[in-house]
Amino acid sequence: LDVSMDMWSYFHTCLVSIWLHRFYIYSAVALGISLWIVIQFTTTRTKRKQSCGSPSSPEGTSDKLGNGCGPRQAQRIHVAGVKIFYGSQTGTAKRFAKALAEAVFSLNLPVEIINMEDYDPEDGLVEETSSRNICVFLVATYTEGQPPESAVWFCKWLEEAANDFRVGKSFLQGLRYAVFGLGNSAYVDHYNTVARRMDRWLWMLSASRIMARAEGDCNVAQSKHGSIEADFEAWKDKFLTRLQALCRGEKKPCRGKCKKGKCKTSGKQSKESSDREHGMSEQDNTEAEELFETSSEEEAGDTDSVIDVEDLGNVMGHMKKAKVLLLEGVWHGIAVWHSAQFIPAGLGAPWGSEIVPAHGYKLIGSHSGVKLCRWTKSMLRGRGGCYKHTFYGIESHRCMEATPSLACANKCVFCWRHHTNPVGTEWRWRMDQPEQILQEALEKHQNMIRQFKGVSGVKAARLEEALAVKHCALSLVGEPIMYPHINQLVRLLHQQGISTFLVTNAQFPEEIRRLEPVTQLYVSVDASTKESLKRIDRPLFKDFWQRFLDSLKALAEK
């Protein structure tokens, strides 16, 4: 008992002593922590100084280029690498691509040279929106302003993406690029057309120029630097300077043209000197002045994009990646034909049917149209189809997109050409027979398919299959149900083993009731209240709301 008592009193004494001296203990711990922090701070600084201190070491240069001083992975990467795309026929652009690649490589940056012929822009370019790469396009122009053969598909894809209203205008937002064109100013009307167009299409898709487009001129009498080689060298130097600035994370220089007076950057750059260095014509200067180092998206100042219902299949696949999904209405129509094309009842023959309207639509007779859907093209190339493929297994490459009525009873705000397409509440035009419409639609559709023969990436087997149409989307533009012989047309399609997908604008309830069975019937619901429907669809019918409700009832009764 005595022993345990002694132990207890000993511990008690210790605890009391600790308690009495607790402030000394706290102070000692605090001092220790402070010392540890100071030591850590000093050693980190010394390490940083050492890693930045030897500019001659390749590692040091690399860090400086990529991220400023400091360990690469700990810093923000401003430029991951450079991809140099070239479109060449006689090899000059390819040679320039190699020279540029060597220069970029000497800056310790990863670099890749890509022949446009071997590249799939559909998948590849979208990846560049988040890759932190800089994409350089060196492209030549040939006869009549056409691209070299090796760049035909690349240009075709880019043009279509830029002009297809269903492709979001921010499709390439985040892609940073520079364009150098190869041409000869002796071809006055088509001088460097391809580079100019390419630059424009990229810009339309919200890609960002890192510097103004430059144009090399083979015409030594006109070339700014005396030859196309010298033009390229001058541009290359400028490009490398800009590249290094980007690597350091520097922002673009301000030219005093920021929107709404909000200057996002600092510094100034002489436009004249920049233009001189790029060897640009008066006309180009104007364009570069407006578009230099911007994207269309930045200029528009909004990032919303509209997703078409046709894209639902694709959207489902990319749901996790999607940043902004604005599903606006069920279906977005696009009117493409001028009212003059519509022949009032009782008048003469329709206008020439070989006229190709804007945006790739082919006119059939005097009031119908057909177009190759982008999903048809996508599946031709062995890629995915539209939502009908995702949901129902419909093969998009065997689907024809057409309408028997380019006219409509609405003037929807989202319709591209509502001011030019014919509108009316009833059919009052000369009428083409359904047999003629179907025959011409199939012929023109097949002709458009045949144009893809030999195009890079297109699968021969799919192209063969595509010539035999299996499905018809009666949803191109206008209001297909307005066509008085719509039932006959649908019957003809079914007789040929072609399934039908019809989209109507919810203004013709009686016609919906009279409609014989189609494979799938869609009614567009563009708004949920009378007021908003009036504002969005701008219907011609005075009783548009009742018609809208009746259309939904008619759909329910089907």
The residues that touch ligand FMN, with contacts defined as CB under 6 A, are 88-93, 140-143, 145, 148, 182-184, 187, 190-192, 218, 228
Q: Shortest Cβ distance from residue 272 to ligand FMN (Å)? A: 24
Q: Shortest Cβ distance from residue 232 to ligand FMN (Å)? A: 10
By DSSP bridging, strand 208-209 and strand 133-140 are: unpaired
Contacts of 266 (CB under 8 A, 6+ apart): 251, 254
CB nearer ligand FMN, residue 195 or residue 380: 195
356 burial class (0-12, 13-18, 19+ CB within 10 angstroms)?
exposed
CB nearer ligand FMN, residue 92 or residue 314: 92
What radius of gyration do the chain's Cα atoms show?
A: 32
CB nearer ligand FMN, residue 191 or residue 483: 191
Residue nearest to ligand FMN according to CB distances in the complex: 183
What is residue 344's DSSP assignment? B
Tokens in use for 502?
A: 């019809």
CB nearer ligand FMN, residue 197 or residue 209: 197
Beta bridge partners of 371: 401
Q: Shortest Cβ distance from residue 533 to ligand FMN (Å)? A: 50
CB nearer ligand FMN, residue 51 or residue 227: 227
Tokens in use for 537?
A: 């669809």
Q: Shortest Cβ distance from residue 485 to ligand FMN (Å)? A: 47
Q: What are phi and psi of 494, to 5 degrees?
A: -65, -40
Tokens in use for 402?
A: 């057409």
Single-letter amino acid code for the residue at 76: R
CB nearer ligand FMN, residue 185 or residue 425: 185
CB nearer ligand FMN, residue 96 or residue 331: 96
CB nearer ligand FMN, residue 98 or residue 318: 98
Q: What are phi and psi of 203, to 5 degrees?
A: -65, -40
CB nearer ligand FMN, residue 222 or residue 447: 222
Dihedral (CA of 60, 64, 70, 72) sign: negative
Q: Shortest Cβ distance from residue 356 to ligand FMN (Å)? A: 22
Q: Shortest Cβ distance from residue 105 to ligand FMN (Å)? A: 21
Q: In sequence order, what DSSP letters do the residues of 423-471 get, joined into one string?
A: B-SS--B----HHHHHHHHHHHHHHHHHTTTT-TT--HHHHHHHTS--E
Q: Shortest Cβ distance from residue 350 to ligand FMN (Å)? A: 36
E strand residue ranges, 189-285:
208-209, 214-217
CB nearer ligand FMN, residue 190 or residue 417: 190
d(CA 185, CA 192): 8
Q: Shortest Cβ distance from residue 443 to ligand FMN (Å)? A: 33
Contacts of 5 (CB under 8 A, 6+ apart): none
Q: Shortest Cβ distance from residue 498 to ligand FMN (Å)? A: 43
Contacts of 393 (CB under 8 A, 6+ apart): none
d(CA 137, CA 200): 12
Query: Which residue is associated with the tokens 């080689």?
Result: 229
Q: 171 with 161: CB under 8 angstroms?
A: yes
CB nearer ligand FMN, residue 146 or residue 353: 146
Q: Shortest Cβ distance from residue 276 to ligand FMN (Å)? A: 20
CA 301 centroid distance within chain: 16
Q: Shortest Cβ distance from residue 360 to ligand FMN (Å)? A: 24
d(CA 405, CA 479): 6
